[in-house]
C-alpha cells in the first residue's frame, strides 16, 4: 500500500513533502521518511510512527533540490526504522520510495547477495534500489538500468528515485498509481492528486510499465519498449480532492454528519427534473441480465448484501454477493447472462482487481460502484457509477458506505423506472439529523461497552446486514472483539458466548422480523446479557435505548447505520484511540 511523494525545483519542498505525506497517510501510517538531495549530498530522515514525528526529526533549515517522501503500511518487514523508506542502494548512489509489492523478492535478494550486495532491511523495496545500482554499474545510464529492472521484476510498483549528483527525479510504475503534477518551474510526484492540488491542477498519469524522469521544467516518459510517450495533461475536480476538518475534531465525525448532504448530492446527480440520469445502455444491460454477482470487501461487501436484497426484492433478479478474496479462488458465474457489479470506494482494492482479471477472461458486462474516478477498477470495468461522497479521510468508512447503499437503491429504482424511491430517500434524510440529537444516549452505551472484552450485534434481514457493518466499525476503531449474528443463528452456537453483562446491541427496524427479534432478546437476557435496543418508533418498546422516527424499512442501512457509526466513534474516543487512523489498517488496501 503506502503513499509516495516527490518534488523538484519546488520552493519549500520540505513543506510540500511533509504536508503531502500527511494527506497520503490514508494509504498507511506505520512509518514515514524523506530523502533530501542537495548537489552530491543525500540526507535521509525516517522512523516508525507518524509524519508529525518524522517532521520533528528534521532540522528546521534542512532543504534540498530534489526530495522524495514515503508513508508506509508494512508488507515485508516490521514497521520499524530500518524498514522505513526511503531506501538507499548498497553503494549509496541511489535512493528510492516504493509503493507496491515485488513478487519473488526473496529469490532476487538471494541473487543480489551472491553478487556481493549487502542489505539493511527486510523489505522488497531495497531489492529494487540495489538492482538499479547494480545494473547502473554495467549500463552507465539510469534509464537503461531502470528498464532492465522492469524487465527483471514482476509485481506492483510506483517508485520515485533519486540519483546522487543528478538534478532529476526518476519514476517507474506498474499497477500502483503514480501521478506527476506539472508546475511553473517545478514538478511534483505523488500517489494521488491530493498532495499536489494546492500547487497545480495539471497532471499526467503514468500508465503501467511506464518510466521516465522529471526535471524542474520538463519531463520525459517512456513505454516498456523504450519509446518516448506523449502524455495527455489532465485536471482533477478540486472539490473532490481537497479535504479539511472544517472545525470537527475528527474526520470520522465530520463524515458521519455529511451523510445527509452526500446522499442529497448523489440523488441530485442521478435524478434530473424527476427523470433518472443514468446511461440507458447500462440500465438495459441490467434489465436483460438473469443474475447479478456482487463483489466487494469489508464495508463494500456489506453494502453489496443490502444491494442484493434490493435487486431480488424490487426487481426479482437473483443475486449473489461474494467477498472478493474468496470468490477469486472459486469464481462462479450463475445464470446465462450474469452481470458483474464491483463495489469499491477506492477502486484500487487488490482483491477486487484480482477478480476483475478473472472476469475479463469472459465477455460479461461489468459495473463499478466507486467513490474514486480514474482508478484501476474504473479503467477495467465497462460501466462506472460514482457515489459522489467526496474524499473520505477517516479509515473507517461511514459516508461512503451510506452512499454505496443509496447508489445501489437508485440503480434499482432506475431499472424499475420508479422515481418515487428517489423521493423516499430524500424524505428520510431529516431522520439522520434527529439521530444526531440522541448522541448523549449513544455515549452512555459507549461508556458501558468501552471496557468489555466482547460485544455482539444482532438483527435479521436488513437489520442483520446493518449488524455486520456496525460490528466491523466498532472492532476496527475500538479494538473490542465484536461479532454480528443473525438473530435466528444465535441458538445454533453463538449464544454459548453470552454471560453476565455481555453487551448485545439489537436492531429492530423491520416489522417482519420484529417479533422474532424480541424473542431473541429474551433468550440472551435470560443468560445475563446487557441488551441495548435500537428500534423504529412503531416497533419500539419503552425500554429501548434509541428510538428512531419511522421511514421506509429498506432505508435502514442508510439511516440507522449513523447510530452505529456514532457508537463506534464514541467508544473509540472514550478509549483514547486515534479514531481516524486505527492500528494495523489503511484506507486503501492495495495488496492481496
**Phi, then psi, of 572 in degrees rounded to 5:** -60, -45
437 Cβ contact partners less than 8 Å away, ≥ 6 residues apart: none
* Cα dist from 554 to 309, 314, 445, whole Å: 9, 10, 26
Task: Locate 489 and state its grid cell.
Answer: 443463528
State in angstroms the smallest separation of the CB of 456 from ligand F6R: 19
Q: Cβ closer to ligand F6R: 377 or 517?
A: 377
Confirm if 502 and 452 have CB atoms less than 8 A apart: yes
Assess whether the previous peptide bond of 87 is cis (omega < 30° from 0): no
300 binds ligand F6R (CB under 6 A): yes
| SS3 at position 376 | helix
State in angstroms the smallest separation of the CB of 392 from ligand F6R: 8
Single residue of 4, 37, 267, 297 touching ligand F6R by CB under 6 A: 297
Confirm if 399 and 255 have CB atoms less than 8 A apart: yes
**Phi, then psi, of 224 in degrees rounded to 5:** -60, -25
349 binds ligand F6R (CB under 6 A): yes
Residue of 233, 240, 157, 166 whose CA lies nearest to 197: 240
Q: Cβ closer to ligand F6R: 351 or 544?
A: 351
Confirm if 142 and 136 have CB atoms less than 8 A apart: yes
346 binds ligand F6R (CB under 6 A): yes
Count interface residues toward ligand F6R (CB under 6 A): 14
User: Among the candidate windows 59-67, 116-124, 146-154, 295-303, which touches ligand F6R by CB under 6 A?
Assistant: 295-303
State in angstroms the smallest separation of the CB of 391 from ligand F6R: 12
* Cα dist from 305 to 223, 297, 309, 398, 426, whole Å: 41, 11, 6, 16, 22
Q: Cβ closer to ligand F6R: 30 or 93?
A: 30
User: Among the candidate windows 127-135, 216-224, 292-300, 528-536, which touches ligand F6R by CB under 6 A?
Assistant: 292-300
State in angstroms the smallest separation of the CB of 420 from ligand F6R: 29
Q: Cβ closer to ligand F6R: 191 or 300?
A: 300
Residues 430-489 that bind ligand F6R (CB under 6 A): 476
Q: Cβ closer to ligand F6R: 26 or 211?
A: 26
**Phi, then psi, of 220 in degrees rounded to 5:** -140, 130
State in angstroms the smallest separation of the CB of 369 from ligand F6R: 9
Listed in order, strand segments (DSSP E) in 253-353 are 271-272, 275-276, 291-296, 319-323, 338-344
350 binds ligand F6R (CB under 6 A): no
Confirm if 470 and 485 have CB atoms less than 8 A apart: no
User: Among the candidate windows 205-213, 280-288, 344-352, 546-554, which touches ligand F6R by CB under 6 A?
Assistant: 344-352
Catalytic-residue membership of 434: no
Residues 42-71 that bind ligand F6R (CB under 6 A): none
556 Cβ contact partners less than 8 Å away, ≥ 6 residues apart: 462, 463, 466, 507, 509, 510
Strands 210-214 and 383-386: unpaired
Q: Cβ closer to ligand F6R: 200 or 384?
A: 384
Listed in order, strand segments (DSSP E) in 19-88 are 31-38, 41-48, 66-72, 87-88
Single residue of 191, 344, 467, 502 touching ligand F6R by CB under 6 A: 344
CB burial of residue 74 (10 Å; 0-12, 13-18, 19+): buried
Q: Measured on CA atoms in the order 574, 575, 577, 580, is the torsion positive or negative?
A: negative
Q: Cβ closer to ligand F6R: 123 or 344?
A: 344
User: Among the candidate windows 203-211, 298-306, 416-424, 432-440, which touches ligand F6R by CB under 6 A?
Assistant: 298-306
299 binds ligand F6R (CB under 6 A): yes
Task: Locate 382 and state its grid cell.
Answer: 465497462
State in angstroms the smallest separation of the CB of 560 from ligand F6R: 17
Q: Cβ closer to ligand F6R: 65 or 348?
A: 348
Single residue of 66, 97, 317, 589 touching ligand F6R by CB under 6 A: 589
State in angstroms the smallest separation of the CB of 572 from ligand F6R: 12
Count Cα atoms within 13 angstroms, Cβ side, for 186. 18
Select the residue whose beta carbon is closest to ligand F6R and give its number.
298
**Phi, then psi, of 522 in degrees rounded to 5:** -60, -40
Torsion of CA 427, 429, 431, 434, to 10 degrees: -140
83 binds ligand F6R (CB under 6 A): no
Q: Cβ closer to ligand F6R: 125 or 346?
A: 346
Catalytic-residue membership of 587: yes
Show the site string, 111-140: x = touches ligand F6R by CB under 6 A, - = not: ------------------------------
State in angstroms the smallest separation of the CB of 342 from ligand F6R: 8
Task: Locate 366 and state its grid cell.
Answer: 461489468
Strands 319-323 and 530-536: unpaired
Task: Locate 59 and state its grid cell.
Answer: 532540522
Single residue of 31, 55, 345, 513 touching ligand F6R by CB under 6 A: 345
The radius of gyration of the chain from alpha carbons, rounded to an integer in Å, stands at 25
Q: Cβ closer to ligand F6R: 21 or 387?
A: 387
Q: Cβ closer to ligand F6R: 98 or 473?
A: 473
Q: Measured on CA atoms in the order 247, 251, 256, 259, is the torsion positive or negative?
A: positive
41 Cβ contact partners less than 8 Å away, ≥ 6 residues apart: none
386 binds ligand F6R (CB under 6 A): no
Residues 387-406 that bind ligand F6R (CB under 6 A): 396-397
Which position among 2, 7, 355, 381 bears the catalytic label? 2
Q: Determine the Cα–Cα distance for residues 130 and 142; give it in Å rounded to an integer.
A: 13
260 binds ligand F6R (CB under 6 A): no
559 binds ligand F6R (CB under 6 A): no
State in angstroms the smallest separation of the CB of 592 from ligand F6R: 12
State in angstroms the smallest separation of the CB of 404 from ligand F6R: 8
User: Among the candidate windows 45-53, 165-173, 231-239, 339-347, which touches ligand F6R by CB under 6 A?
Assistant: 339-347
Which position among 46, 109, 581, 587 bears the catalytic label? 587
Residue of 329, 259, 255, 266 whose CA lies nearest to 295: 329
Catalytic positions are 2, 587
List contacts with ligand F6R (CB under 6 A): 297-300, 344-346, 349, 352, 396-397, 476, 588-589
Amino acid at each position: 500500500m503506502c503513499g509516495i511523494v516527490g518534488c523538484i525545483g519546488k520552493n519549500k519542498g520540505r513543506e510540500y513533502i511533509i504536508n503531502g505525506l500527511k494527506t497520503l497517510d490514508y494509504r498507511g501510517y506505520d512509518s514515514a521518511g524523506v530523502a533530501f538531495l542537495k548537489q552530491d549530498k543525500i540526507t535521509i530522515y525516517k522512523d516508525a510512527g507518524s509524519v508529525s514525528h518524522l517532521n520533528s526529526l528534521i532540522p528546521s533549515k534542512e532543504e534540498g533540490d530534489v526530495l522524495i517522501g514515503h508513508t508506509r503500511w508494512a508488507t515485508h518487514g516490521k514497521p520499524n526504522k530500518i524498514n522505513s523508506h526511503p531506501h538507499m542502494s548498497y553503494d549509496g548512489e541511489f535512493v528510492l520510495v516504493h509503493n507496491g509489492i515485488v513478487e519473488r523478492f526473496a529469490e532476487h535478494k538471494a541473487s543480489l547477495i551472491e553478487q556481493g550486495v549487502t542489505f539493511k532491511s527486510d523489505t522488497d523495496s531495497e531489492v529494487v534500489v540495489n538492482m538499479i545500482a547494480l545494473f547502473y554499474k554495467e549500463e552507465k545510464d539510469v534509464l537503461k538500468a531502470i528498464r532492465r529492472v522492469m524487465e527483471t521484476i514482476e509485481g506492483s510498483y510506483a517508485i520515485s528515485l533519486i540519483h546522487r549528483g543528478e538534478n532529476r527525479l526518476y519514476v517507474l510504475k506498474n499497477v500502483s498509481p503514480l501521478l506527476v503534477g506539472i508546475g511553473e518551474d517545478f514538478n511534483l510526484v505523488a500517489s494521488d492528486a491530493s498532495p499536489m492540488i494546492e500547487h497545480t491542477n495539471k497532471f499526467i498519469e503514468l500508465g503501467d510499465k511506464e518510466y521516465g524522469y522529471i526535471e524542474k521544467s520538463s519531463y520525459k516518459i517512456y513505454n516498456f519498449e523504450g519509446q518516448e510517450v506523449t502524455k495527455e495533461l489532465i485536471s482533477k475536480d478540486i472539490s473532490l480532492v481537497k479535504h479539511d476538518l472544517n472545525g470537527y475534531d475528527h474526520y470520522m465525525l465530520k463524515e458521519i454528519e455529511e451523510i445527509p448532504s452526500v446522499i442529497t448530492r448523489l440523488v441530485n446527480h442521478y435524478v434530473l427534473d424527476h427523470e433518472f440520469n443514468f446511461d440507458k445502455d447500462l440500465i438495459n444491460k441490467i434489465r436483460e441480465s438473469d443474475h447479478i454477482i456482487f463483489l466487494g470487501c469489508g464495508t463494500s461487501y456489506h453494502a453489496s448484501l443490502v444491494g442484493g436484497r434490493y435487486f431480488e426484492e424490487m426487481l426479482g433478479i437473483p443475486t449473489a454477493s461474494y467477498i472478493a478474496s474468496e470468490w477469486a479462488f472459486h469464481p462462479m458465474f450463475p445464470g446465462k447472462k450474469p452481470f458483474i457489479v464491483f463495489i469499491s470506494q477506492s477502486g484500487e482494492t487488490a482483491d477486487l482487481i484480482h477478480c476483475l482479471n478473472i472476469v475479463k477472461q469472459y465477455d460479461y458486462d461489468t459495473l463499478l460502484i466507486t467513490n474514486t474516478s480514474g482508478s484501476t477498477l474504473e479503467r477495467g470495468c465497462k460501466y462506472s457509477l460514482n457515489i459522489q461522497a467526496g474524499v473520505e479521510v477517516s479509515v473507517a468508512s461511514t459516508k461512503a458506505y451510506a452512499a454505496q447503499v443509496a447508489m445501489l437503491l437508485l440503480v434499482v429504482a432506475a431499472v424499475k423506472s420508479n422515481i418515487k424511491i428517489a423521493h423516499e430517500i430524500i424524505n428520510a434524510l431529516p431522520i439522520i439529523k434527529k439521530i444526531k440529537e440522541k448522541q448523549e444516549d449513544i455515549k452512555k452505551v459507549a461508556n458501558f461497552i468501552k471496557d468489555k472484552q466482547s460485544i455482539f450485534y444482532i438483527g435479521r434481514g436488513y437489520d442483520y446486514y446493518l449488524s455486520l457493518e456496525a460490528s466491523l466499525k466498532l472492532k476496527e476503531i475500538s479494538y473490542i472483539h465484536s461479532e454480528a449474528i443473525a438473530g435466528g443463528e444465535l441458538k445454533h452456537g453463538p449464544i454459548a458466548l453470552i454471560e453476565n453483562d455481555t453487551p448485545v446491541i439489537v436492531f429492530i427496524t423491520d416489522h417482519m422480523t420484529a417479533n422474532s427479534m424480541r424473542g431473541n432478546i429474551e433468550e440472551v437476557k435470560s443468560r445475563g446479557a446487557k441488551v441495548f435496543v435500537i428500534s423504529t418508533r412503531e416497533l419500539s418498546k419503552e425500554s429501548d435505548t434509541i428510538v428512531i422516527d419511522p421511514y421506509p424499512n429498506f432505508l435502514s442501512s442508510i439511516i440507522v447505520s449513523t447510530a452505529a457509526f456514532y457508537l463506534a466513534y464514541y467508544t473509540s474516543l472514550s478509549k483514547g484511540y486515534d479514531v481516524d487512523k486505527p492500528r494495523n489498517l489503511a484506507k486503501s488496501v492495495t495488496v492481496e
